[in-house]
Structure 1
């Protein structure tokens, strides 16, 4: 059995969030379990509307270049069963509410994420 993967996001970078979704989708496709914890302004990455992220490359441009779009990657990660969490403090910081989040995203604190990760490595993007 392969070890679970734990990914944390902390800023509002579209590029980091997109890459985290690429890594997560790849790991999930290999049968690994994946948990993504979005804290601070990165909670926008797991909101239905991710326009609060900075320096967004449009899905249309990515599609034209043959690159997986943000929407497609996020939907794949959800369908493949990733455990998605956003920080309750990040929600307060951004003014987002639980109903603005994608389906399956839970609101948790960093302690919950760290408890789940235990002594396993955490990939910070």
Structure 2
């Protein structure tokens, strides 16, 4: 199965929720799954927006994604702007050039 790379382009919690659930589904089907938080979307790492009733919050959904094998990558510039560390947020730091250079045959989706 082809992999899936999802770019979250802005700080909208619903977009991150969609990216994480889509990536979890791709991972469940046996494909590589990555979610890249671009620039201001990195702020979502410290946002725990309320979830619809009966669904996991963003922190729990991030944990589910990680446990499912989804790679979470945060924009290096976004981390610096938000004053965050990749280590403390348990994500990989990266940039768009590396993301695209390692895309391979992944499908690329931007939310």
Taking the aligned partners of 1:69 and 1:94, their CA distance within structure 2 comes to 21
Partner of 1:117: helix, strand, or coil? coil
**Structure 1 equivalent of residue 85 of structure 2:** 97
Taking the aligned partners of 1:42 and 1:29, their CA distance within structure 2 comes to 25
Larger Rg: 1
Structure 2's unaligned 5+ residue stretches are none
C-alpha displacement at 1:37, in angstroms? 1.0
Structure 1's unaligned 5+ residue stretches are none
Aligned-residue Cα RMSD (Å) equals: 1.8
CA contact (8 A) 1:24 1:77 kept: yes
> Structure 1 residues 21, 120: CA separation in 2 closer, same or farther (over 3 Å shift)?
closer
The reply on whether 1:67 has 2:55 as its aligned counterpart is yes
**Structure 2 equivalent of residue 87 of structure 1:** 75
Provide the TM-score with structure 2 as the length reference.
Answer: 0.86
CA contact (8 A) 2:4 2:32 kept: yes
